[in-house]
Amino acid sequence: MAAYLVRRLGQAVFVLLLVSFLVFMGVYAIGDPVQMLVPPDATAAEVERARVALGLDRPILVQYWLYLRGLFQGDLGTSFVYNQPTIDLVLQRLPATVELGLAAFVMSLIIGLPLGLIAGYRAGSVADDGIVNGSIFAYSLPNFWQGLLLILLFAVQLRWFPSGGRGETGTFLGIETSLVTASGWSHIFLPALNLALFNAAMVIRLTRAQVQAAMNSEYVRYARAKGVPEGRILMRHAFRNVLIPLVTVLGLELGNLLAYGIITETVFNWPGMGQLLINSINVVDRPVIVGYLLIVVAMFVVINLLVDITYTLLDPRIRLGGKPA
Amino acid sequence: MRNAILSLRHAPFALFCLALFLLIVVAALLAPWIAPQNPYDNAVVDFFDSNLPPGSPAGMGGMTYWLGTDALGRDLWSAILYGLRITLTVAATASMLALVIGVLAGLVSAYAGGWVDAVIMRLVDILLGFPTILVALTIMALAGAGTGNLILALVVAQWPYYARTARSAALVEIGQDYIEAARCLELPHWRIILRHLLPNSISPIMVVLTLQLAHAVAIEASLSFLGLGTSIERPSLGLLIANGSREILSGHTWALIYPGLALAALIFTVNVFGDRIRRALNPQEA
């Protein structure tokens, strides 16, 4: 286990270094950031002064080295636009993104698990067909268009929910969150639903496949022969089978929440990390783009690591360090 | 593969979706001939006709805007047909490139084994650890908007899926006697890979192709929506929706709804068809 952990951690560090290098170099392809930051009527001398002040006159490898050295001290650079450390900017927006992801996560399970159970239990029935095709349909609707339709229906036409923003936040255990105010709940409902539908489709398909397999298995037939009530067979025998693969999918789902959250945050004007990224891309705020991408990559590396470890703990058949199944 | 296609006979809904998909493709191909207006030609587009609701007659006469007009006065029906062309061109080009690169990498990986296999598969694992949309978005964030970059982003994001599938399909074949025989005959490696391994690994690759094609359309639309995709002058469906969404609070819903319907129909039909083939090829999953 220890050797496996060390190897996975080494791999993770390698991925982070590689991504930081590629991203840092790649940002130079966007254009000269100095030109974006000085007033359009600045003289050549003023442009040069700004370049030196921002450290952009040094050779690119030196800039990268300085950046890397900063990274190990938790310094991700300073935003050109906000004139604030990148890490602060991203961390300020982390709670909004996490609470949206959390709400969407819970919602996707509430929608996905029961529907998947029904479809898997009654495989081949009309209900099953409806649920499967419905989930392909939900999966096919582009996330951002789905969000816009939600706004159109529930915010513009029916006026049940606000069309965007985060609403009032309250403090709970020292964390600013909108999950403790009524206004916060009404603001988070639509974006969370938007983010959840995509993942709900995934949960439905997985649950259905697992339950269906379990219903055809020897041990369910044995339980039936023993006269165990159907409801108990479904919950105690079939549903339990869903839990192990669900862990992997939940890992995937967390990843999707981070990635598709960028789109949902843009659609609903939700002040999270994803919106920060899109705004920074539009104004070529290089340190924030690089910092954001690195933080997200780090989060992914950690999530994937945790999923792998949980998986091996849940299912001893998966041999540590062996080829992935 | 043939059996999979034949089994479609028993799936009327999947057949219907296939027909609808082909209809959309034909409509996109024929756009210059069937669209009432060339939406990119400023001499034809009348700016005074902006944001007209569906069914309005054109101010200059001569045509009716059956689906309304957008904020620039373009006939929405024409803009959708032309937008479909761009969406399909980007998605199809990217999918084919990703398929060629991915399948070759996967087959070589399986055939060569050893450190070649290790290096390619490690790269694939790293890329597959991130959602496709995030990989594509990262590349667009670094390379900037534009059709060429868009295709590049989709290829980088999607080739690992083909590579993984091709490799696992090829690994099954490599154990077979005919590959052993081909090796004994000392046929060139490229010939064994292309003439023996490739044809026998093709079915699972086709399933990945359909599902990834739908995914490519969705990602292209999402990136264009974020302003990281195609150019404003020649908008794809995603950008049309983004433009339409600016009118959302003024109640002009058509510029948001109709391009979205076209996009959703395209993705949905490909997905249903792909899902059907996948189930036909893996009977225990049906």
Distance of CA B50 to CAs B56, B58, B162, B239, Å? 11, 10, 44, 17
Distance from CA of B143 to the nearest CA of A (A): 6
Q: Is the separation of the CB atoms in A77 and A90 below 8 Å?
A: no
Between B43 and B131, name the one with better pLDDT: B131
Rounded CA separation A234/A220 (Å):
9
- How many angstroms separate the CA atoms of A57 and A85, rounded? 20
List the 142-181 stretch of B: residues with Cβ below 8 A of A.
Answer: 142-144
Q: What is the mean pLDDT of residues A130-145?
A: 84
- Bridge partner residues of B65 (DSSP): B56
Asked if B129 and A304 come within 8 Å (Cβ–Cβ), the reply is yes
Band (pLDDT 50/70/90 cuts) for residue A73 is confident
pLDDT of residue B156: 92
**Collapsed DSSP state (helix, strand, coil) of residue A315:** coil
Q: How high does pLDDT run on average in chain B?
A: 82
**A214, amino acid identity:** A
Quick one: pLDDT band at residue A324, thresholds 50, 70, 90? very low
Which of A325, A324, A302, A319 shows the shortest CA–CA distance to A3?
A319
Average pLDDT rounded to a whole number, residues A120-131 = 82
Interface contacts A/B by beta carbons within 8 Å: 115
Q: Please report the sign of the dihedral spanned by the C-alpha atoms of residue B159, residue B163, residue B169, residue B173.
A: positive
For B115-127, the pLDDT digits (tens) are 988 888 888 888 8
Residue A230 predicted with pLDDT over 50: yes
* Overall size of chain A counted in residues: 325
- B274 contact A CB<8A: no
Q: What is the mean pLDDT of residues B249-258?
A: 77
Of residues A196 and B229, the one with the higher pLDDT is: A196
| Cα(B167)–Cα(B192) distance, integer angstroms | 14
pLDDT, position B159 = 93
What percent of chain A has a predicted confidence (pLDDT) above 70? 83
Query: Is A300 in CB contact (< 8 Å) with chain B?
Result: yes
Per-residue pLDDT at B286 exceeds 50: no
Shortest alpha-carbon distance between residue B86 and chain A (Å): 17
Give kind and range of the element (H or E) at residue B201.
none
Sequence-distant (6+) residues with CB within 8 A of B221 are A142, A144, A145, B87, B229, B236, B237, B238, B241, B263
Instruction: Work out the minimum CA distance from B275 to partner chain A, whole angstroms.
Output: 9
Q: Nearest C-alpha of chain A: how many angstroms from B141? A: 6
Scanning A255-284 for CB atoms below 8 A from B yields 255-256, 258-260, 262-263, 266-267, 277-278, 281-282
Q: Which residues numbered 122-151 in A keep a CB inside 8 Å of some CB on B?
A: 133, 136-137, 139-145, 148-149, 151
Confidence band, pLDDT 50/70/90 cuts, at residue A136: confident
Give pLDDT tens digits for B36-76. 777 777 666 766 677 777 767 766 666 777 777 777 777 78
Residues B119, B23: Cα–Cα separation, whole Å:
42
What is the model's pTM?
A: 0.81
Indicate if the pLDDT at residue B96 is higher than 90. Answer: yes
- Would you call B272 and A23 a contact, using CB atoms and an 8 Å cutoff? no
| pLDDT at A14 exceeding the cut of 90 | no
B256: contact with A, CB 8 A cutoff: yes
